[in-house]
Amino acid sequence: MITPNFPSDEQKRLETLRSLAVLDTPPEERFDRLTRMAKRLFDVPIALVSLIDENRQWFKSCVGIDASETPRDISFCGHAILSDEILVVPNALLDTRFADNPLVTGDPNIRFYAGRPLKAPNGSRLGTLCIIDRQPRNLSQEDLNVLSDLASIVERELSVIQLATMDDLTCILNRRGFMLLAGHSLNVCIRQNLPASLVFMDLDNFKSVNDTLGHAEGDRALAVFSEHLKRVFRESDVVARLGGDEFAVLLSNSKKIEAEEILKRLYEALDNINREENNGYDILFSHGVVEFDQDRHSAIDILLAECDALMYEVKNSKR
C-alpha cells in the first residue's frame, strides 16, 4: 500500500475546508440526492461525497456503507485530490497503491474506484465525489463526463455554504459560520473530555475611525485586525467576525490561561503594527475570556453571551 502524499497547497486547502464549517455536520438532502443519483446512474453499491481533513476522509454524504469516515492514510480519495483529473482504479488488486489496502483486503472490499476531485473557488481540492464497486470495471468517456457533471453540482453546493458562512471583508467566518463550526467543535470537546475557551473581542474607538477617516479606512482596520487574528491564533481555532467590530475565537483543547497567553501575543503584534504604520489611530480592542463549563454552558450561544458580557465589563472600565 502507498500512503497518499499531501497536496502542495495543503495549508491553504485545510483553511478553506475549515472555513466551510461543514465537517461533522448532519446529512443534508442536497448532497444525499447526488450520491443516490450517482449510485443509480453507475449501478454501483457505494457512492460518497468525501472531504479530506488532516488525518481522515469524512463523508458528507454516503450510500452503501455505514461508516462516516476512514483514516486518510488508507483513503483512495487522498490520492484523488493530488490531481485535477478523475482518478480511476479499474481493479485495486492490480494497483500497487491499493492492492494490500485494508479497504481492499477487508470491508468494503473495494475493487473499482472512480473519484472526481471537488474544487473550491480558490482552486483547493477539498475531497471527491466518488463511486465504488466490489467488482473490477471500467468507465467510458461518457461515464467520466457524467461523474464530472455531478461533481460540479456538489462544488456549487459547497460554494453556497462558503458564501453563507464567510465574511466578505475579512475572509474569516461570519456569525452563522461561527455558530455552526464552534458548536460542532464544542461537541467534539465534550465527547473527548477536552477543555475549551472562548474569546470575545470588540475594537475600541472604532466608530471614531469611521467618522473621522471614512469607512474605507475602517474596513482596512477590520481587515488588518482579522489578519492578525489568523496569524496569532492556532489553525485549529475557530476565528470569526460576528458583525461590525465584534470578533470571537473558540479555542479547542485550551484552558483560559492558554487563551490569555495567545491574547498577549495579539496585543504585542498590534502594538508593533500601530507603531510601524502610524495611521493617526491605533487598532485597540477589549476582550473577555470564558472557559467552557459543560454544567453552565449547554450551548454555544450561552457561552458566547457570558463572554460578551464579560468583555463589555472590561470595555466600560476603560471609559
Higher per-residue pLDDT: 48 or 176: 48
pLDDT > 90? residue 38:
yes
Angle, CA 193 vertex, CA 192 and CA 195 arms, to 5° = 115
Residues 6+ apart with CB under 8 A from 114: 86, 87, 88, 89, 130, 131, 139, 144, 147
Distance CA 109, CA 65 (A): 11
Distance CA 50, CA 4 (A): 15
Give percent above pLDDT 70 in the chain: 100
> For residue 136, is the peptide bond before it cis, meaning its omega torsion is within 30 degrees of 0?
no
pLDDT > 90? residue 15:
no
Q: Is-above-0.85 flag for pTM?
A: no
Please tell me the predicted confidence (pLDDT) of residue 287.
Answer: 96
Please tell me the predicted confidence (pLDDT) of residue 103.
Answer: 97
Look at residue 87 and give its three-state secondary structure. Answer: strand
Q: What is the pLDDT of residues 163-174, one digit of tens each?
A: 778 888 998 889
Angle, helix 141-165 to helix 175-191, in steps of 10 degrees: 100
> What one-character DSSP code corresponds to residue 199?
E
User: What long-range pairs does 103-112 form, CB within 8 A, spacing at least 24?
Assistant: 103/70, 103/74, 103/75, 103/76, 108/45, 108/46, 108/64, 108/65, 108/132, 108/134, 109/134, 110/76, 110/134, 111/135, 111/136, 111/137, 112/44, 112/136, 112/137
284 band by pLDDT with thresholds 50, 70 and 90: very high
Q: Give the chain's mean pLDDT.
A: 92
pLDDT > 80? residue 87:
yes
Please tell me the predicted confidence (pLDDT) of residue 150.
Answer: 95
Nearest Cα to Cα of residue 286 among 170, 172, 197, 200:
200
Q: In what order do the strands lie in the sheet with 238-243?
A: 238-243, 246-252, 196-204, 284-291
Q: What is the pLDDT of residues 200-258, one digit of tens each?
A: 999 999 999 988 899 999 999 999 999 999 999 987 788 999 999 999 999 988 999 99
Return the biggest CA–CA distance within the chain: 72
Least confident of 50-59, 106-115, 156-165, 289-298: 156-165
